Chains A and B, each alone.
Chain A
Amino acid sequence: MSKDYAVIGKNVPKIDGREKATGAAKYAGDLKFPNMLFGKILTSPHAHAKILSIDTSEAEKLPGVKAVITHKDVPALKYGISPARWDENIFCIDKVRFVGDKVAAVACIDEETCYKALKLIKVEYEVLPAVLDALHAMDEGAPQVHDEYPRNINTEIHQNFGDLDKAMAEAHYIRKDYFVGQRTYQSPIEPHSAVSIWKDNKLTIYSSTQSPHYFQYYIAREFGLKMGDVRIIKPFVGGGFGGKLEPTGLEFAGSVLAKLTGRPVRTFYDRHEMFAHNRGRHKVYMELTTGVDKEGKILGVHANFVSDGGAYTSLGVATSYYAGGLLTLTYEFENYKFDMIRVYTNLPACGAQRGHGAPQPKYAFESHLDNIAKDLGIDPLEIRLRNARQPNTVTINDFGINSCELTACLEKAADISGWREKKGNLPKGRGIGIATGSFVSGAGYPIYRNDLPQSAAMIKVHEDGTAATLYTGAVDIGQGSDTALCQMAAEAMGYRYENMKIIAADTETTPHDFGAYSSRQTLMSGSACKQAGEEIKKQILDIASTIMSLPPDDLDCRLGIIFSKSRPTAKTITFEEAARRFFVLRGPLLGRGVYHVPRLGGTFKGAAVATSPAYSFCAQISEVQIDEETGEVDVCEVWDVHDCGQVINPMQLHGQVHGALYMGVGEAIWEEVLFDDQGKIQNPNLGGYMLPTALDMPIVHSELVESYEPAGPWGVKEVGEGATNPTMGCFNNAIYDAMGVRIDSLPLTYEKVWRAMKEKREGKKEV
């Protein structure tokens, strides 16, 4: 970042750091309102069952119970987040589709009474055969999860670019591999909660959300309310990672309970209920066939995937398109076929999780590419350098790439990790692996079709100029957007970060923004904030020019000091002075900004998904130590080198890499949602679903390469999700390097490594 900037490019203290460090920060589950009730949802114990009857009479009699509701008390309109497939009801009407499906809800004077009341609701079920295996969901005669979707097909994609048959015919070498991803869960540490208040005809919800806008839109739609009569407020949010992007039963049931009782209702999930609600990463079955020339240059790729979507669509349509769409980013090839079927099963719904759709296909492709490199005798780094995407190119599926420093990332990662010295020279049991990643800097199109701008922002300067408040719909869920956007606004205004205040993510007081998903806010919300700041600056210089008797074009403002550009010795005035004068003469000093994405992408079916104004790139190298007898994997060290354009806040940026890597490390070795043969989660808690602890995390090195993205404000682009994408493949390649065994399913557990080594010893498996 150029030294010319006064506020951006610097580590400023996190704007909400003190509140969070002192315990003062209030999350949805911490909020209390006078006369507030507590609400809880009764869920299905069966994976697939007809509801024969629901008897709520005993629950209603329990002292302290204020309302009990079932499907009869709520709109029957189906909702969802992917508009092509609205398939959920607030409460199940005729049947339940997974263990955890919503059946009824209660509102009570305290939490304890809720639990007791739920036990008193009697639901009679007729258990139906369930489909629990995605690979058999399409079988003739398999149980149907939704009658409207024959053979349980939820999403079917067949895309064909270039001439794959020709490419394969011309290939020097063709290899086919098969990999399986696993279902993981976002596991934010904050459980979902919502407080719903329905007064007169207005519904207000404080929710643990990544997108007040989508909540507002879908909740208004469900209840037939005007959007203006639904207010969604985001308090502090304790992490989302994709799991808090869509409204849940907590908001829908909570709203109805609030309306019926006339009282605020706080609804909440316990940890095991979060797992049941899920919307985590899909389990994907991935077949990859790639043809290369003698030098290992990729000529064509066929990706043939099946994914287990669970009982509802959630964001799964987009996930499915992303899974194949994003595979064309890091390596250049001109012929590509992508087939994908997402099936319904009687398991919790899957949705968007950090790296949306990309990490598992990346695991498969990076493992596959290493196999090809080995077969051809090419170094894994070398084959990646030969195929690495270059700047100012267009992918075969029509994504326009501006900045791209992937080659520099690979070179730097190799340098700082000592790749060339280590590769082939490490003792047995120790291995080094490499992989690449890329991600969108904001989805090019919103989730439901509309022509709203992506982001808007306002800045209001205090009448005496000693503070400025940024109003943005952008959503800080921990990634630090409030801080970064205030830096950007201050920079554009010529003001100081320390004097910035922010009001964010409240649909009534802040301008529209689609929210925190697809790594969009630094580029998109940032663009709007920059524009708003520039509008402030223009006005402040205009008034200053009258005070200073200098032409406005000759003036600039930096860190709150207004000065002449041509006469360095001329007397300066302060931003405060000018702002105060502005208010006295002209009224409120306001700045507005708006960001629209230009039209992006091709015209084929699904062309919109994975379009973006800009793409980040990264290379990762990891080193592991394998216990040759037990299969224990010690993840020793990871090097991530990112091309994320220019940097607004280095500390926060590296924090994003650390977090994305953390999720990738967890999913690589430990994390998996496991089910029994009845479709019930076996590890719906943080003891059984194993996030790495502080003792398990490798040493992490996060570095950058110089890059400038013309589509982003001040040259920025994404970082928060990209670093999750290479990690699983990177570790798989390191394990291969250490032991010569290839693990073809995630996670790469100790037992799988042990088994693969055993089979290799016994000569059972050719690698």
Chain B
Amino acid sequence: MYLPDFDYYAPDSLAETCEALERFGAKAKVLSGGTDIIIKMKSGLLSPEVLISLKKLEDLKKIDYVSKKGVVIGALSTHNDLVNSKILNDRYLSVSEAAHNMASNQIRNIGTVGGNLCNAVPSADLPPILIALGATIKLVGTKGERVMLLEDLFTGPMKTVIAENEILTEIVIPDQSSTGSNYIKFGLRRSGALAVVGIAVAVTVNGGTITEAKIAIGAAAPTPIRAREAEKFLQGKTISDDLLAEAGVIASGESKPISDIRGSAEYRRDLIRVLTRRALYKAINEGHV
């Protein structure tokens, strides 16, 4: 296989990166880890004239906790940076675990969080759990920066609101009122598999009552979705097996999965029913794991 020809730039700063993106416009693509774009280029699905490499943007490779803000994940953190981050392991093991179940060790050492989000693949593993935890993202462009909820990033398969001259620089998981979170990936093998469905939940439990629940589902629609009806249904209810099962049924009803080689829409809907219940159970009983 081979990559079609392109020009390559590796700007020294964020500002230069945005300028370069503005200059080349639609001709250019951002090269972060490259694990998605290189496959697309080798497969003939993409042939950008210019690749703008982010490799020199060292500031975007950190994972920090900033008080009153939350956990700040630089967009260039690799999946394994998430897996191995003490901060995430301590606070949101669910995020580390989601990263750990992606692709393979080799790919997790290359692929980045930013890339995973910006590619907007409906089956991506990180968006559901980050959405469930209410993560925000920062987009920086030549005209300044904007912060938005991650769940507002996606507009369709491989489509986002990111402008041609913008890049995603950081993801923030805000301090939580939630008491537990969990991501369940259902893949067809235990490594190197895309999610047939991926279910993330974050719940706030007070006594035996769910005061708030967030459910985000991957591979269930053209973009990661929130199961808002199920969330509403759970709010203020006393926890019981039937309650969680019913939430699963509602979430399943809200999903709009497609049929493809990994599974039929019917199968996916039923998996969503089952796994939503299981994810809720786990988040309620085990905390942020």
Contact = CB atoms under 8 A, between A and B. Distances in A.
A111 B190 contact: no
B236 interface: no
A690 B2 contact: no
A189 to B, nearest CB: 14
Given A630-B186, A690-B192, A695-B191, 14 more contacts: A270-B1, A630-B274, A683-B261, A687-B192, A688-B261, A690-B189, A690-B193, A695-B190, A696-B189, A696-B191, A749-B188, A751-B263, A754-B270, A758-B270
A278 B220 CA distance: 33
26 contacts: A112-B2, A115-B2, A270-B1, A630-B186, A630-B275, A670-B189, A674-B261, A682-B261, A683-B261, A687-B194, A688-B261, A690-B192, A690-B193, A692-B189, A693-B191, A693-B192, A694-B191, A695-B189, A695-B190, A695-B191, A696-B189, A696-B190, A749-B188, A751-B267, A754-B270, A755-B267
7 A-B pairs closest in CB distance = A695-B190, A693-B191, A629-B274, A751-B267, A115-B2, A696-B189, A112-B2
A11 to B, nearest CB: 30
Interface string B245-289: 000000000000000010110010011001100000000000000
Contacts of A755: 267
A758 B271 CA distance: 13
A674 B194 CA distance: 17
B270 A693 contact: no
What secondary structure prevails in chain B residues at the interface with A?
Answer: loop
Contacts of B188: 670, 690, 749-750
B279 to A, nearest CB: 13
B264 A751 contact: yes
Nearest to A750: B188
Nearest to A666: B189
B4 to A, nearest CB: 9
Nearest to A751: B267
Interface in A231-284: 270
Interface centre among B2, B186, B191, B194 (most CB of A within 10 A): B2
Contacts of A688: 261
Interface residues of A, number: 25
What secondary structure prevails in chain A residues at the interface with B?
Answer: loop
Contacts of A682: 261
Contact of A111 (B2, B191, B193, B264): B2
B3 to A, nearest CB: 9
A693 B190 contact: yes
Interface residues of B, number: 18
A687 B35 CA distance: 13
Contacts of A696: 189-191
A630 B193 contact: no
Nearest to A749: B188
Interface in A640-674: 670, 674
Contacts of A670: 188-189
A116 to B, nearest CB: 8
Interface string B165-208: 00000000000000000000010111111100000000000000
Interface in A109-127: 111-112, 115
Interface in A733-767: 749-751, 754-755, 758
Nearest to B270: A754
A630 B192 contact: no
Interface centre among A683, A749, A750 (most CB of B within 10 A): A750
A692 B261 CA distance: 17
Contacts of B270: 754, 758
Contacts of A674: 261
Contacts of A749: 188
Contacts of B190: 693, 695-696
Interface string A675-701: 000000011000110101111100000
Nearest to A692: B189
Contacts of B261: 674, 682-683, 688
B184 to A, nearest CB: 10
A630 B189 contact: no
Contacts of A692: 189
Contacts of B186: 630, 632
Contacts of A630: 186, 271, 274-275
Contact of A693 (B1, B189, B263, B271): B189
Interface in B188-243: 188-194
A683 B1 CA distance: 16
Given A270-B1, A682-B261, A683-B261, A754 B267 contact: yes
B116 to A, nearest CB: 16
B194 to A, nearest CB: 8
B23 to A, nearest CB: 27
A666 to B, nearest CB: 10
Contacts of B189: 670, 690, 692-693, 695-696
A530 B263 CA distance: 54
Interface centre among A630, A695, A696 (most CB of B within 10 A): A630
Contacts of B191: 693-696
Contacts of A629: 274
A696 B193 CA distance: 12
Nearest to A674: B261
Nearest to A670: B189
A518 to B, nearest CB: 31
Nearest to B278: A629
A751 B190 CA distance: 16
Contacts of A111: 2
Nearest to B194: A687
A354 B261 CA distance: 25
B254 to A, nearest CB: 19
Contacts of B267: 751, 754-755
A758 to B, nearest CB: 8
A481 B191 CA distance: 32
A531 to B, nearest CB: 47
Nearest to A758: B270
A679 to B, nearest CB: 15
A15 B1 CA distance: 33
A19 B145 CA distance: 55
Contacts of A750: 188
A431 to B, nearest CB: 20
Nearest to A115: B2
B170 to A, nearest CB: 29
B273 to A, nearest CB: 9
Contacts of B193: 690
A111 B190 CA distance: 35
Interface string A174-208: 00000000000000000000000000000000000
A698 to B, nearest CB: 12
B196 to A, nearest CB: 8
A115 B270 CA distance: 44
A663 B276 CA distance: 34
Contacts of A683: 261
A690 B192 CA distance: 9
Interface in A481-504: none
B101 to A, nearest CB: 10
A270 B192 CA distance: 20
Contacts of A112: 2
A751 B260 CA distance: 12
Nearest to B277: A629
B37 to A, nearest CB: 16
Contacts of B263: 751
A391 B24 CA distance: 77
B78 to A, nearest CB: 19
A682 B259 CA distance: 13
A683 B43 CA distance: 13
Nearest to B104: A693
B66 to A, nearest CB: 36
A112 B2 CA distance: 6
Contacts of A270: 1
A694 to B, nearest CB: 8
Contacts of B1: 115, 270
A336 to B, nearest CB: 38
A550 to B, nearest CB: 64
